[in-house]
Amino acid sequence: MGDARGGSAGNPDDPPAWTVTTRIDGGTGMDVLDEAAIKAALRQLPGWELTRNAIAKLFVHESFRLAMQFVQRIGDSTEGAAEVAGQHPWIDIRVNLVTVAIPLRSGNTLTPADIVLARRIDEIGGAHEHPPGLASPY
C-alpha cells in the first residue's frame, strides 16, 4: 500500500501521484488536498467518485448477507485508518448494494489520510462491479 503522500501500491519508491497543497486553518491542522489533487488521487481509486459532499463508491454484492459481511469487515478492519483520518466512513446498505462515502471536510477538501482510508476499504472490498454514477445519495 502507498503512503499517505500517494505513492503506488506496487513500489513504495514511486513518487506520489498527488501532493498536499494547503493546511486546514484552525481545524485539525491536518494537511489537505485541493480539488485537483483529490481528482488525481481518485484516478488511482477505480469506482470512487467525487460527489457534492464526499468521495463515494458503490459496491455490488451477490446477496444481502454478503453485503452485510462486507460492512462488518469495514468495521473490523478500518478502525485504525479511520482514527488517523479523524472520521469514519458513511455506509448506506440497500439489499445487495453498499455505498461507502468518506465525507469532505470544511472547504470541500480531503486529507491524505482520507485517501488511505478509501484504499483500505478497496482492499477489503476486493474485486467488485462498480457501476459509474451510482455513488449518490452522497
- Domains defined for the chain, CATH in brackets: 22-125 (3.30.1360.20)
Q: Which residues of the chain fall short of a pLDDT of 50?
A: 1-15, 24-26, 138
**Across the strands, what pairs with 32?**
22
* Distance (Å, whole) CA 125 – CA 104: 21
- Per-residue model confidence (pLDDT) at position 34: 80
Region label for 126, one of left (φ > 0), alpha (ψ between -120 and 50) or beta (otherwise): left
Q: Do 118 and 124 contact (CB within 8 A), yes or no?
A: no
- Per-residue model confidence (pLDDT) at position 36: 86
- Per-residue model confidence (pLDDT) at position 4: 42
- Per-residue model confidence (pLDDT) at position 12: 44
* Residue 77: CB atoms within 10 Å: 14
* Intra-chain end-to-end CA distance of the chain, in Å: 26
What pTM did the predictor assign?
0.73
